[in-house]
Amino acid sequence: MNHLCATTAFGLESVVKREIADLGFETDGVENGRVYFHGGTDAIPKANLWLRCADRVLLIMGQFKAVTFDELFEQTKALPWEDWIPEDGYFPAAKITSVKSTLFSKSDGQRIVKKAVVERMKSVYKQDWFKEEGAQYPIHIQILKDEVTLSIDTSGSGLNRRGYRQYANGAPLKETMAAALVLLSRWQPERFFLDPLCGSGTIVIEAAMIGKNIAPGLRRHFVSEAWEAVGTKAWDLARLEAEQAVNTKKFKILGSDIDPKALKQARTNAELAGVSDVVSFQRMPVQKVATKRHYGVVVTNPPYGERLCNDVQVQKLYREMGQTFGKLEDWSFFILSGYPDFEKYFGQKATKNRKLYNSMIKTYLYQYFGPLPPRHYRREAIAGEKHEQES
């Protein structure tokens, strides 16, 4: 069994834990921004391909306490790095964090770990020097309260890099966070879905991928695809299973915005993501949104003053949102905002709110739960229907 760790944004640990369970793996523990689990070698490709809300999948090499650099060196050297890194592997000490620890110098920590791994490799491969021209094995170092966790990054670029977002607006939401918002809304394709401030379409596209059961990593590559210890067979099988899992459900997801440039980007991104058949985008101000549909779900990430708009503009927007959404009596709303007085200007107290960190910005997901659809409720066949028919 391999010990693995899915890193994630603060506040999404329970969402990632549920994703891991749905993949059939058992979790070993949860910390801030980390969910530990274990599985066979096949867990590496499967987790990378399917985890929607995690940032990376790390292979845990060892955990120990160290308060001196000598301890860090010796205990790092004692780990079986050769089980994963071949003689020609490229193994940089790529990332280090040190919080409330005696070993606070990050550059020294990286240097010591790199040196220790080299010494271990020398003793195993009987070489004095390594070209490091082969596959990548980025080493991550976490030191928290003098407890060291050493791991190898199996993902490479972050899992938010789905491969479809060639274009983005001024303050794009990470794909992983967008997927989390959709999952937290408990939306199902039988219900109408709308993002009335969709920008370049990330939330809409992530919802469409969830509805079609498209593995988020299906259109990208990972560093561990080149690892001998994992093998191409495991990756080929995982990709084949992911391709076969895509469904052909008929549903339509709607996005609107006032920015024609952003909408053009959204349509291109949807095409690249393979979901253009189930999404529609229309230019429309939020105060014009209206529909005769029932039991719909709104998931949106409006501007909140950190990078876009000033206070007056933000407050005006939230008032308009509150007035508009108030007319959708049996809908549910899930709104991510970092603005402290969101509920005041929206005009309604949320049923529930959840603290989330969006790129280190403290935000809240304000959740307004409408009634659930009756059992006999069935979504109408609206494939091909235009967004303007919703207005």
What confidence tens digit (pLDDT) does each residue in 252-297 have?
Answer: 999 999 999 999 999 999 999 999 999 999 999 999 999 999 999 9
CA atoms of 284 and 259, how far apart (whole Å): 9
Report which secondary-structure segment, H or E, holds 131.
none
pLDDT at 169: 66
What confidence tens digit (pLDDT) does each residue in 16-72 have?
Answer: 999 999 999 999 999 999 999 999 999 999 999 999 999 999 999 999 999 999 999
The predicted model scores a pTM of 0.93
Q: What are phi and psi of 143, to 5 degrees?
A: -120, 115
pLDDT at 347: 97
**The token pair that represents 120 in the structure block:** 């271990």
Domain range 175-390, CATH architecture: 3-Layer(aba) Sandwich (3.40)
> Which candidate, 190, 169, 151, places its Cα nearest to that of 57?
151
CA atoms of 390 and 292, how far apart (whole Å): 7
CA atoms of 292 and 285, how far apart (whole Å): 18
Asked whether 58 and 4 are in contact (CB, 8 A), the reply is yes
Describe the chain by its helix, strand, coil percentages, rounded to 5.
35, 25, 45
pLDDT at 391: 37
| Strand order from edge to edge, sheet including 34-39 | 26-31, 34-39, 2-7, 56-65, 147-153, 139-144, 93-99
**The token pair that represents 162 in the structure block:** 């789905």
Asked whether 255 and 266 are in contact (CB, 8 A), the reply is yes
Asked whether 141 and 150 are in contact (CB, 8 A), the reply is yes
Q: List helix spans (H) across the chain.
A: 13-22, 43-50, 69-77, 106-125, 175-185, 202-212, 232-245, 260-273, 311-325, 342-346
Place of tokens 């402290």: 340
pLDDT at 306: 57
What does the domain layout of the chain look like in residue ranges? Answer: 2-153, 175-390
Residues of the chain with pLDDT below 50 are: 379-391
* CB-count burial class (<10 Å; 0-12, 13-18, 19+) for 260: exposed
**The token pair that represents 175 in the structure block:** 């794909």
pLDDT at 375: 78
pLDDT at 389: 39
User: Check: CATH 3.30.2130.30 for 2-153?
Assistant: yes
pLDDT at 127: 94
pLDDT at 106: 96
Query: CB neighbours of 299 closer than 8 A, spacing ≥ 6?
Result: 181, 182, 185, 187, 193, 195, 203, 207, 334
* CB-count burial class (<10 Å; 0-12, 13-18, 19+) for 355: exposed
Same CATH fold, 175-390 and 2-153? no
**The token pair that represents 227 in the structure block:** 């690892």
Q: What are all long-range contacts of 342-350, with beta carbons under 8 Å and residues at least 24 apart?
A: 342/304, 342/318, 342/366, 345/314, 345/315, 345/318, 345/319, 346/318, 346/319, 346/321, 346/322, 347/319, 347/322, 347/323, 348/322
**The token pair that represents 94 in the structure block:** 């790529």
Q: How far is CA 19 from CA 9, 46, 74, 108, in A?
A: 14, 11, 36, 36
pLDDT at 384: 37
Asked whether 319 and 345 are in contact (CB, 8 A), the reply is yes
